[in-house]
Chains A and B, each alone.
Chain A
């Protein structure tokens, strides 16, 4: 297992370099350092000297990938790519174009993102599995059909609609919760309820249908027939046997997204005024803040790799037949 982990971590290094390079190339294909400087300096009274100064101050005055004017290894190290990317492997993200420390921003914003994403994930998982098991329990009945139709309807509605409808009815019309905002410490709870509720409800359609499919596949297997033949009730069959064996595909979908919960949700955070990493990323893209975009893509890639490793580990935990070598 240890050797497997080490191998996976070593594999991650070239992947991360590749992700970094790809982000860099994609970003600078559409934005030159001059464009970035102009956007940061505004549209008024921007002189070529001011642009040159901005680039020097922010380290964008070097060639992008290859410095032909330098000698030896400096041809590669004295470039924008190397200077802005090497430190990231030590999780030193540097500063955004607004001068704020990116590492500090990520640490500060992770909490609010998790405050929404984690409850949505956990409650959503519980609700979706319960609902899926209920549909499976009443499979081939009108209740099952009604549940599936309900799921398709829920899936067909745009996520934005849930947000706007939730804000309109719960916060505006019925005055039950704040429309948007965030609080310090435990005071944040009243701002979390509505986005969590919206997040859970908007996820029921796709989640419950997906889990229903998994459970239906399991329920036709021999061990289920054996369990029933033993005289076990349908409830015990479902919760004790089908659920446990259906965990592997559920883990595939669930564990891999677990680390990504830190990254937050782009739209939800924006609409509910949650100061999380999702809105941080959106702002950075709009402001063409390459330092932040690059840091967030890097962090996303790292967390995704961690998620995949955790998925493999969870396989071994959930299914004794799986051995990691």
Chain B
């Protein structure tokens, strides 16, 4: 059977192990993979990075991040310009831009979109000769043979209008959509909470009827004219502008909801949550989250061009070679489901994926460190002309102290010293080297590089944990930590009053052999200052529960930026955002009135020296109080083949596929060279099989003859 199969393969193509159809050899598409199937593709619901990989290419919010510029800069996408808020007082009177925050009752964002933008081809827009929608009054039997959107014979399009954006904002309040940002946005957008209550009431009263957002009044967003809409925000919330670059605020055409609400559609997974309808550069041509997702170029995509304004480094890296060219530069992308890292990695090395991350298993195969500590590719990678792409993520990992805990928490000086001592003892330089293969940089505060407020060099170090030596930050000594511990009332790790040893509890969700070595390492670090650490492993649910109720003492946690603003990190330490009692994101339950006052000032300020000065004060407070052990900012290492161009990590944007360019001819050539079938094992296998069967057959014949 194996021989028949291999013969068939030989007839199919030059490369037998090619997982794609032979006709696609020279297709101008990107080949990639996803390890976790997306759960939601409705832009109002989707909030995971693996989902944004698709929604980011299909849906277009009014704003986007510049592909090349750093620090991250917002630019218009469908909007004509980045809107500047107008401020109003409680009586609705206009206020100047520099009006005090307390005087501002409303911020009004007026967004004008470009005319002429059209949606992707979709049956929801298809009309007959008389102008009636072809597929808006379907019966169950009409959809019986429809499994995919492509099964509908006719498609249509229509122009994007401002009302589609307002429609989507209203959808955020729908109980049937269950948007994860509804709670947050209802605190900021005028009337959204009330709209949610009204929709919930209507949904309960008529659970079988569609819930049309257009039938509900809403003060928070309104259509000004065909291409202009207005959003009203409570008070001053400068960070709102960043939300306008997320798919939550992308337009949804009402026709799509009407189309998908028809009988029989949901039973075949034909829903807006699975079959997106957008104006972006790509549309989802094949949606099989169990196997592969295929994006194709939207034939109606508006004329966006590759950016021409990058810096000298971008030019040197060839990132401006396509400046001014119409986007997208590829015809589509094929994403295959690849749950395990080994097949993913091997297929990347065979040239069947254009880019790859580097798992721990493959790290040594791909990367080595130079004498100076710089990562570089191994010879086998260089032979294949593979390129290494590294970037420090806009994320932080930290160990939180529960500030409500009687032993470890509180703002008293001795408690600060206890936490500072522990912060010194946990040597994250060693951790990064042992457990992360160097993929991280020790954190000096809550703000990672790339976010306004981060300061590099001597000014940016945490003086309570580090000191400068030869122009480099060096972790303070264990003796320093012991001294602080003694000053905190625990000389030699024992309570000065009772003589009891200091025992701390560390809650973690981590389990398995890898986690054990990591947890053992943490224990050993604290052993150095004679502090005993008890690890309490737990599952995800129980861990969350402990944090919510404030039952943890020390715990590890992380945060990934929603948007490039320091507010998105400092709010994790803002008192009113405490987890216990408030349900906020401040898991350490840190509550320092001085810090809170500065936070309230900082969050409404424009980036500039004045804001930096406030941030510096805030950093000094949190470094002194040490509610977190600032562990590390993770560094991502990725690989790409030489035929993939225009790759620049952009941690804020998720719509960068349109800038990507590939050289299909180079790829086809490499695949052919790297995947020539090796035939001798087949011959050897056949000989081996024969060597087993032949003596057995001879012996059987001899036995039969003897018996006869």
Chain A: residues with CB nearer than 8 A to chain B?
Answer: 30-32, 35, 38-42, 44-50, 53-54, 56-57, 95, 97-101, 103-105, 108-109, 123, 134, 137-138, 143, 164, 167-169, 171-182, 187, 189-191, 193, 197, 233-235, 270-273, 275, 279-280, 283, 287
Contact = CB atoms under 8 A, between A and B. Distances in A.
A109 B290 contact: yes
B19 A47 contact: no
B16 A164 contact: no
A150 to B, nearest CB: 10
Nearest to B343: A180
Contacts of B339: 270-271, 273, 279
A122 B175 CA distance: 50
The number of chain B residues touching the other chain, given as a range, is: 35 or more
B562 to A, nearest CB: 7
Contacts of B9: 176-177, 190
A178 B20 CA distance: 9
Nearest to B182: A50
A189 B347 contact: no
Contacts of A109: 290
B336 interface: yes
A53 B271 contact: no
Nearest to A272: B343
Q: Top 3 closest A-B pairs, CB basis?
A: A47-B183, A275-B290, A35-B541
B181 A53 contact: no
B37 A179 contact: no
Interface string B651-668: 000000000000000000
14 contacts: A38-B541, A46-B183, A57-B175, A98-B39, A143-B699, A174-B678, A175-B16, A175-B676, A179-B350, A180-B338, A193-B2, A234-B703, A235-B700, A272-B343
Contacts, number: 174
Interface string B134-152: 0000000000000000000
Question: For chain A, what secondary structure do more than half of its interface residues adopt (helix, strand, loop), or is it mixed?
Answer: helix
Contacts of B340: 180, 270-271
A52 B590 CA distance: 27
Nearest to A95: B266
A38 B6 CA distance: 49
Given A44-B180, A97-B39, A138-B696, A180 B347 contact: yes
Contacts of A287: 39
B39 A104 contact: no
A34 B1 CA distance: 52
Contacts of B676: 175
Contacts of B273: 98-99
A275 B178 contact: no
A179 B182 contact: no
B288 A167 contact: no
B557 to A, nearest CB: 9
A54 B178 contact: yes
B5 A181 contact: no
A233 B708 contact: yes
A169 B681 contact: yes
Contact of A189 (B2, B8, B47): B8
Contacts of B70: none
Nearest to A169: B681
Contact of B39 (A40, A168, A197, A270): A40
Contact of B562 (A44, A99, A280): A44
A45 B678 contact: no
A105 B180 CA distance: 25
